Chain A
Amino acid sequence: MSSIALPRERTRARSPYVLGGLAALLLAAALLGLGCGALRLGAGEVLGALGRWLAGRPAQGDDMVVLMLRLPRVLMAALVGAALATSGAAMQGLFRNPLVEPGLVGISAGAALGAIGMIVLGGGLLAALPALLGSFGVALAAFGGGLAATLLVYLIGRLRPGMATLLLAGVAVNAVVMAGVGLLTYLATEHQLRDLSFWTLGSLGGTDWVRLAAVAPPMLLPVLLLPRQARALNALLLGEHEAALLGFDPARLRRRLVALVALATGAAVAMCGVIGFVGLLVPHVLRLLWGPDHRLLLPASALAGGALVIAADAAARVAVAPAELPIGVLTALLGGPFFLWLLLRTRIGEAAA
Chain B
Amino acid sequence: MNPPLDWRMDRAPRGLLEARDVTLDGGGRRILQGVSLRAWPGRLLALVGPNGAGKSSLLGVLAGLRRPSRGEAALDGRALADWPAPQLARRRAMLSQNVRLGFAFRVEEVVLLGRSPHGERLRAADHAVAAAALAAVQAAHLRGRSYLELSGGEQQRVQLARVLAQVWNSADGPAWLLLDEPEAGLDIAHQHLVLRHARSLARRGYGVVAVLHDLNLAARYADEVALLAHGQLLRHGSPAQALEPATLSRVYGLPLRRVPLRDDDGWLLAPAP
Chain A residues within CB distance 8 Å of chain B: 1, 3, 5-6, 9-12, 96-98, 231, 234-235, 237-239, 241-242, 244-249, 287, 291-293, 349, 353
Q: Which residue of B lies closest to A244 (CB)?
A: B65
Beyond A231-B120, A242-B99, whether A247 also contacts B113 by CB under 8 A is no
Q: In whole angstroms, what is the CA distance A97 to B102 when docked?
A: 8
- For A98, A349, A353, which residue has the most chain B Cβ atoms within 10 angstroms? A353
Of B94, B103, B127, the contact of A237 (CB 8 Å cutoff) = B103
Which chain B residues border A231 with CB–CB below 8 Å?
Answer: 116, 120
Q: Is B63 an interface residue (CB 8 A)?
A: yes
Given A3-B149, A291-B106, check contact A247 B99 (CB 8 Å). Answer: no
Residues A239 and B148 in contact, CB atoms below 8 Å apart: no
What's the minimum C-beta distance from A243 to chain B, rounded to whole angstroms?
9
Interface of B is mostly: mixed
CB neighbours (8 Å) of A237 from chain B are 101-103, 105
B153 an interface residue at 8 Å Cβ cutoff?
no
B116, A247: Cβ atoms closer than 8 Å: yes
**A247 cross-chain contacts in B, Cβ below 8 A:** 85-90, 116-117
* Chain B 138-172 interface residues, beta-carbon cutoff 8 Å to A: 144-146, 148-149, 166
Q: Is B250 an interface residue (CB 8 A)?
A: no
Q: Is B223 an interface residue (CB 8 A)?
A: no
Identify B148's interface contact among A234, A242, A353, CB under 8 A: A353
Q: List 19 A-B contacts (CB under 8 A).
A: A1-B146, A3-B146, A10-B106, A234-B113, A235-B113, A238-B101, A239-B96, A241-B65, A241-B96, A244-B65, A245-B63, A245-B65, A246-B89, A246-B113, A246-B116, A247-B85, A247-B90, A249-B85, A287-B103
- Which B residues lie within 8 Å of A12 (CB)? 122
Q: In whole Å, how far is B149's beta carbon from the nearest beta carbon of chain A?
A: 6
A238 touches B99 (CB 8 A): yes
Contacts of B99 in A (CB 8 A): 238-239, 242
From the candidates A242, A244, A293, name the one contacting B85 in the complex (CB within 8 A). A244
Pick from B101, B116, B120, B146 the residue with the most CB of A within 10 Å: B116
**List of A residues within 8 angstroms of B96 by Cβ:** 239, 241-242, 245
Asked whether A238 and B113 contact (CB < 8 A) given A287-B103, A291-B106, the answer is: yes
Question: Nearest Cβ distance between residue A289 and chain B, in whole angstroms?
Answer: 11
Chain A residues, CB < 8 A from B113: 234-235, 238, 246
Chain A residues closer than 8 Å to B127, beta-carbon distance: 9
Give the docked Cα–Cα distance between A238 and B120 (Å): 18
Chain B residues, Cβ within 8 Å of A96: 102-103
In the complex the two chains form, what is the Cα distance from A237 to B100 in whole Å?
8
**How many angstroms from the CA of A238 to the CA of B103 in the assembled complex?**
9
How many angstroms from the CA of A251 to the CA of B204 in the assembled complex?
36
Q: How far is the CA of A298 from the CA of B219 in the complex (A)?
A: 49
Residues of B within 8 A of A249 (CB): 85
Interface residue B259 (Cβ < 8 Å from any Cβ of A): no
Q: Is the CB of A6 within 8 A of B144?
A: yes
**A293 / chain B contacts, CB cutoff of 8 Å:** 105, 109
Measured CB to CB, the nearest residue on chain B to A350 is: B102
Known A-B contacts A98-B103, A238-B99, A292-B104; A245 and B149 likewise in contact (beta carbons under 8 Å)? no
The reply to whether A235 and B104 contact each other, CB–CB distance below 8 Å, is no
Given known contacts A239-B99, A246-B113, what 13 new A-B pairs fall within 8 Å (CB)? A3-B146, A9-B127, A12-B122, A98-B102, A237-B103, A242-B96, A245-B89, A245-B96, A246-B166, A247-B87, A247-B116, A249-B85, A291-B109
Within 8 Å CB of A287, what residues of B?
A: 103-104
In the assembled complex, the Cα of A41 lies from the Cα of B193 at a distance in Å of 71
Please give, as numbers and ranges, the residues of chain B lying within 8 Å of A239 by CB-CB distance: 96, 99-101
Quote the shortest CB–CB distance from A323 to chain B (angstroms): 42
Contact (Cβ within 8 A) A246 B117 = yes
Interface residue B225 (Cβ < 8 Å from any Cβ of A): no
Residues of B near A238 (CB, < 8 A) are 99, 101, 113
A235–B104 Cα distance when bound, in Å, is 14
- Residue B173 interfacial (CB < 8 Å): no
Q: B93: CB under 8 A from chain A?
A: yes
Encode contact with A along B90-133: 1 for CB under 8 Å, 0 otherwise: 10011010011111111001000110110010100001000000
A234 CA / B122 CA spacing, docked (Å): 13
Question: In B15-73, which residues have CB < 8 Å from any A CB?
Answer: 63, 65
Residue of A3, A9, A11, A242 near B145 (CB, 8 A) is A3
Give the one of A12, A242, A349, A353 with max B CB within 10 A. Answer: A242
Q: A272 to B86, alpha carbons, bound, how many Å?
A: 41
Given the complex of chains A and B, what is the CA–CA distance between A292 and B86 in angstroms?
23
Q: Given A241-B65, A242-B96, do A248 and B116 touch, yes or no (CB 8 Å)?
A: yes
- How many Å lie between the Cα of A237 and that of B148 in the bound state? 13
Docked CA distance A246–B119 (Å): 12
Q: How far is the CA of A239 from the CA of B98 in the complex (A)?
A: 10
